[in-house]
Each structure stands twice: as structure tokens, then as C-alpha cells.
Amino acid sequence: MSKEEVDIWADERSMKQIFLNLLDNAIKFSRKGGTVEVRIMANQPDLAAFEIEDHGIGMSDDEQQRALQPFGQAQPATTRTYGGTGLGLPITKGLVEAHGGTLTISSRAGHGTTVRIVLPREPSRPASTSL
């Protein structure tokens, strides 16, 4: 497997928060002895993609929508079993979007979750305007 550096334009503190939130969720919702995979791809010259995949409890489509809302955890029982405030994913999504990126979730209940972040590798340039 070849290793290549992938540079992105981003605020260091925000990136730490994004990855901390996503890795914490992946570990928290994995089954005992489960695995968490982290992938970084730069298939396009101007974008970098990051995926964090767990093989844990997963979420239905409705649960995914709730999990992206502030204080909206997938299920009330999730709070009792795993803890948390329900703010990690909404904050993470906001930070990603503030950097001009996107966050998507692919999940199946009982089979795990993959969160994909796509970020620009360079700062966005304002569109030129003519007077």
C-alpha cells in the first residue's frame, strides 16, 4: 500500500474536534472487540475525503436524521446505554460545512456506520465580480 501525504486547508482546532467526535462515536458504538477503520482519499485534485467506519450498532434512516439534529440522539435508550448529549454529530457537521465541506452518513441498524467527510484541499476563492 503506498502512502501519500494529503494536505487540506482547515483550522487545526476544528479538525481535532471533528476527528475526536467521529472517532469517539465510532469507538463508543462498536461492539466489544469490534474494529474502527479510518480511510483518507484524495482522488480529486481539489478535494480530500475522510471515512470513519465502525461495525457497531448502526442506525436506521430515521435515526440518522435524528442524530444530525442538536440533542437528537438516535434512540432515547441510546443515551441511557452509551451516554452523550446528542451534540457531537451536529457540531461536527457544522464545522465541516464551515470549511466548505460535506458530511454524509451511511448506516444500517445492526451492521455499523460510515461517516464520510469531504473537504476542500485549498481555501475557496471568492467569485470575481466585474464592476
Q: Which residues of 18-46 are buried (b: 16+ CB within 10 A; e: fewer)?
A: beebbeebbebbbeeeeebeeeeeeeeee
* Residue 123: band (very low, low, confident or very high) from pLDDT cuts 50, 70, 90: confident
Question: The domain spanning residue 69 has which CATH number?
Answer: 3.30.565.10
Q: Indicate whether 57 belongs to any domain.
A: yes
Residue 26 vs residues 5, 9, 18, 121, 131: alpha-carbon distances, Å? 24, 25, 12, 25, 50
What is the extent of the structural domain holding 82? 12-120
Residue 47 grid cell: 478535494
25 grid coordinates? 462515536
Whether 45 maps to a domain, the answer reads: yes
**What proportion of the chain, given as a percentage, has pLDDT over 70?**
79
Q: Is residue 85 situated within a structural domain?
A: yes
Domain count, the chain: 1
Say if pTM beats, i.e. exceeds, 0.85: no
Q: Please check whether residue 3 lies inside any domain of the structure.
A: no
pLDDT tens digits along 15-44? 999 999 999 999 999 888 889 999 999 878
Choice between 81 and 104, residue whose per-residue pLDDT is larger: 104
